[in-house]
Amino acid sequence: MEIIICPDADSASLSAADQVASLLHSKPTAVLGLATGGTPLALYSEIIRKYQKHQINFSQASSFNLDEYIGLAPGHPASYQSFMQENLFRHINMPAESVHIPDGLAVDVPSHCLAYENSIREAGGIDLQILGIGTDGHIGFNEPTSSLASRTRIKTLTERTRSDNARFFHSMEEVPHHVITMGIGTIMESRAISLLAFGESKARAVADMVEGPITSSVPASILQMHPTVRVFLDEPAAALLSRRDYYRHVFARKPSWQKW
């Protein structure tokens, strides 16, 4: 894992956006894996800014989102479909047919999940997966004890995750219990992964992910087995890393030929 400790969330988001731009320049048909939540908001704003300045073009690109709540109509303000339209897609030129988000109203969920996996495969696989991390170490909605080989499927949320995400709803009761999420095995097949984590509330999960044992109790710890993971942190999220001085040392001495 490459650990990039930035002075703040905005500079970390800027670096992550530069990486997206550089991918799209070298591969205009890139397939992006996208995440929701508070964490990627500044990244998406920066991507929109780059698009408005004609520095980035999505006309041939496509995307697959990690997850969606079951039972929320696409137009529900807290659905991830609404989140993505509002915070990214309505501002950029990715063709609507190239945007993929699991359908929270799918009648036959297992078939829908299988079809989602097939679409990722048919698109050629994900080039760059953007991830956040839950306070319990989840990625996507793969809660602790998820199979590290899991594929896209239904999951039941922990009460901690429901409570963390309740701020996007009017009340805790409104937060769905069930979701569709890409599996950990699905995420691990992405060619490159950028995980962003900001704030003190993520420090424990980040330290467990980077320096702890690989365990399904901390689903993000499996990323230690992926060859191309970049972790963009602000100072508070990096606070519990015991080797953070080493990570800074490595980053400061990164050879100039070593590209993103």
The residue from 136, 164, 208, 234 that is catalytic is 136
142, containing H or E segment: none
37 binds ligand GLP per the rule CB under 6 A: yes
Report if residue 38 touches ligand GLP, rule: CB under 6 A: yes
138 in catalytic set? yes
Binding track, positions 154-173, relative to ligand GLP; x by CB under 6 A: -------x---x--------
Is 104 a binding residue for ligand GLP by CB under 6 A? The answer is no
- Rounded Cα distance, 245 and 34, in Å: 30
Burial of residue 253, with CB atoms counted within 10 A of its CB: 0-12 exposed, 13-18 middle, 19 or more buried: exposed
Q: Is 133 in the site for ligand GLP (CB under 6 A)?
A: yes
66 is a site residue for ligand GLP (CB under 6 A): yes
Phi first, then psi: what are they for 19, rounded to 5°?
A: -65, -40
How far apart are CB 258 and ligand GLP at their closest, in Å? 27
Q: Which stretch in 20-28, 37-45, 50-58, 214-222 sits in contact with ligand GLP by CB under 6 A?
A: 37-45
Strand (E) positions, the chain?
A: 2-6, 31-34, 62-65, 67-69, 99-100, 128-131, 153-156, 178-181, 192-197, 229-234
- Phi/psi of residue 145, nearest 5 degrees: 80, 5
Is 54 among the catalytic positions?
A: no
Does 137 bind ligand GLP (CB under 6 A)? Our answer is: no
CB under 6 A: which stretch of 32-40, 44-52, 92-100, 111-119 binds ligand GLP? 32-40
Query: Which is catalytic among the residues 68, 112, 138, 208?
Result: 138
Question: In the range 229-248, which residues lie near ligand GLP by CB under 6 A?
Answer: none
Check 143, 164, 208, 234 and give the catalytic one. 143
DSSP letters spanning 87-99: HTGGGS---GGGE
Active site residue 136: yes
Beta partners for 4?
Answer: 232
d(CA 101, CA 66): 7
Site for ligand GLP in 11-30 (CB under 6 A): none
CA atoms within 13 A on the CB side of 144: 14
Residues near ligand GLP, by CB under 6 A: 35-39, 66-67, 132-134, 140-141, 161, 165
